Structure 1
């Protein structure tokens, strides 16, 4: 079989390798049918994020189940499934609490397709076949009628966006939402805006300087504001920082209303001085860190089935399987490849 290997910035190649086999009764063998780039991938391909190769590439996608181990009960050969990017057993204490990104049964940050950072032994999803451990705990069956290409990012970026708005809007229906969009977590910010609209926010404001992203936010029904991240647009119970950088992070916190929640989904690679006194005075809750993707996937799929959320609006480039390398090297914001 073939798998896609990333050797370094701007360097991808197909590699022939032995077909994986099931060696544990809880595993499933899957054939990816729709794959998406994560917001991190363009930065890696451009050399802007240090993730040295070589390693098997890809960690977002929908797959068809080819075979299952004898202990697997929830999926069967022929089923189409969302494959969460994080490896989780489903039975340890963190997994039972919904903290699947910190599964205690495996090394920290175990993921598909992120090189040494996620553990090389899991391989990547940009391949003819992949083995999924803990299939009953990890795999989420794709509801009938959903196009796999539309939800190819349900492995990672869409659940990452959901955690920024879903819990708060569930507890406080109609809460207003501010998203500071930008290049660092471009699709996550847009998904967050779309999900906030789908979840009934009374007002969703999306701030960015990039016309393409502003147009996508408008299509979701958000109020698009062309401005820098530190523009004054009011205070909001829910704020999302997806722009990257210290200015945007502080601006998002400063725009958070009393008793509000600010979530940063960008990867801040340098220390940032926070306005702690102001946060304390307003009782501001700040959250950052990796999303626990698996628990949010069913909620995201429910919104898609209901016709309330169309993640395909964020896709900026579609390609066929054999076009993968050329399409990836163009580094579009959100690439979806199908076969």
Structure 2
């Protein structure tokens, strides 16, 4: 993909199963605290699959795509202290300033210096186009707050996954297992394909005595078993029996009866964490049972920048092999043909010069 003078190639969403590489202006530094990054590896977020195939409807207005980014710094402003041109870095998918009250307390998904829900590759969420990972370059507006150097022992695909989904899976079990060391963990897998599998890895690494993974997909079940979980084929239906109760549960199903089963399987005073809001309004939530048992249900977007350092350290030390969740590697140039493939986790890698 040749770059014209002052322009670059950007992978652009036009509609379900409809993407194009468009020529757009190369981003420029706008102040002394910014940086430019050349993406080298971009993993497909679980959400991206459903935007790409039309399961999640977006408006017709085009936007840059891809938000799990690892790359190389190409330019920095005069006030940037933490990275230099040539550094390999993780670019957190959410935009955060690092200095507002929310950022300072670790609530980096709710930075007040930018429009709510600001992120790469998801312009329709915030109403502002921040660019996308499947591009030649991205502008990082708060370089010192956002960018994280990648250790030599961590691959670019793994680093890209840590920018969102791997960190999301980690946070579902990290705090609950600090409160309940060695607890059994139930992960109700499904449409948040890779997040559920990353949660399996994190639970194993963080000392869960037993990890049970439910799903209706044979390939993901095989992956979960290979990652050390007890994998159980499960169809999420009304009145699904609860065989065991767990102090730590995760709903990665993104399905109504999967959520109900996760909540019903949470032991008294336990914690259930949901990783998506696909179930927006529904009857049948076991609220009275939750109240009587005193369980906590957490549902939130991940605070990506606040989680990255811990997850990256697990990757650096070899405690978690995130690469084992990545199923497919394809060049950027094949993104249009493969973006809607049903694989658990795809990584797009920058095409090598011919």
**TM-score (ref. length: structure 2):** 0.92
Structure-2 residue corresponding to 1:11: 18
Write the distance in 2 (CA, Å) between the matches of 1:182 and 1:33.
29
Query: Which one of 189, 198, 202 corresponds to residue 195 of structure 1?
Result: 202
In the TM superposition, what is the alpha-carbon distance from 1:89 to its structure 2 partner? Answer: 0.5
Asked if the contact 1:35/1:61 (under 8 Å) is kept, the reply is yes
Q: Residues 17-96 of structure 1 correspond to what in structure 2 (within 5 A)?
A: 17-52=24-59, 53-96=61-104
In the TM superposition, what is the alpha-carbon distance from 1:141 to its structure 2 partner? Answer: 0.9
The RMSD of aligned alpha carbons is: 1.3
Question: Does residue 307 of the first structure (1) align with residue 318 of the second (2)?
Answer: yes
Write the distance in 2 (CA, Å) between the matches of 1:228 and 1:326.
31
Asked if the contact 2:276/2:301 (under 8 Å) is kept, the reply is no
In the TM superposition, what is the alpha-carbon distance from 1:161 to its structure 2 partner? Answer: 1.1
Write the distance in 2 (CA, Å) between the matches of 1:337 and 1:194.
22
In the TM superposition, what is the alpha-carbon distance from 1:269 to its structure 2 partner? Answer: 4.2
Structure-1 residue corresponding to 2:252: 242
Unaligned runs of 5+ in 2: 1-7
Asked if the contact 1:111/1:119 (under 8 Å) is kept, the reply is no
Asked if the contact 2:41/2:71 (under 8 Å) is kept, the reply is yes
Structure-2 residue corresponding to 1:322: 333
After superposition, what is the alpha-carbon deviation per residue over 1:196-221, rounded to whole angstroms, capped at 9, x for unaligned? 00111110000111110011111111
More deviation in 254-263 or 271-280?
271-280
Structure-1 residue corresponding to 2:145: 137
Q: State the SS of the aligned residue for 1:205.
A: strand
Matched residue pairs, number?
A: 338
Unaligned runs of 5+ in 1: none
After superposition, what is the alpha-carbon deviation per residue over 1:146-170, rounded to whole angstroms, capped at 9, x for unaligned? 1111232111111111111011112
Write the distance in 2 (CA, Å) between the matches of 1:27 and 1:338.
24
Query: Which one of 158, 176, 180 corresponds to residue 172 of structure 1?
Result: 180
Query: Which one of 193, 196, 199 corresponds to residue 186 of structure 1?
Result: 193
Question: Does residue 297 of the first structure (1) align with residue 308 of the second (2)?
Answer: yes
Structure-1 residue corresponding to 2:228: 221
Structure-1 residue corresponding to 2:5: none
Write the distance in 1 (CA, Å) between the matches of 2:257 and 2:129.
38
After superposition, what is the alpha-carbon deviation per residue over 1:173-199, rounded to whole angstroms, capped at 9, x for unaligned? 21111000012x111111111110011
Query: Which one of 290, 309, 319 corresponds to residue 279 of structure 1?
Result: 290
In the TM superposition, what is the alpha-carbon distance from 1:253 to its structure 2 partner? Answer: 0.6
Structure-2 residue corresponding to 1:154: 162
Asked if the contact 1:163/1:296 (under 8 Å) is kept, the reply is yes
Write the distance in 2 (CA, Å) between the matches of 1:12 and 1:231.
43
Write the distance in 2 (CA, Å) between the matches of 1:3 and 1:276.
46
Asked if the contact 2:246/2:270 (under 8 Å) is kept, the reply is yes
Moved over 3 A (4+): none
Q: State the SS of the aligned residue for 2:162.
A: helix
Structure-2 residue corresponding to 1:208: 215
After superposition, what is the alpha-carbon deviation per residue over 1:100-151, rounded to whole angstroms, capped at 9, x for unaligned? 1000111110111113213333111110001001111111111121111123
In the TM superposition, what is the alpha-carbon distance from 1:306 to its structure 2 partner? Answer: 1.4
Question: Does residue 111 of the first structure (1) align with residue 119 of the second (2)?
Answer: yes
**TM-score (ref. length: structure 1):** 0.96
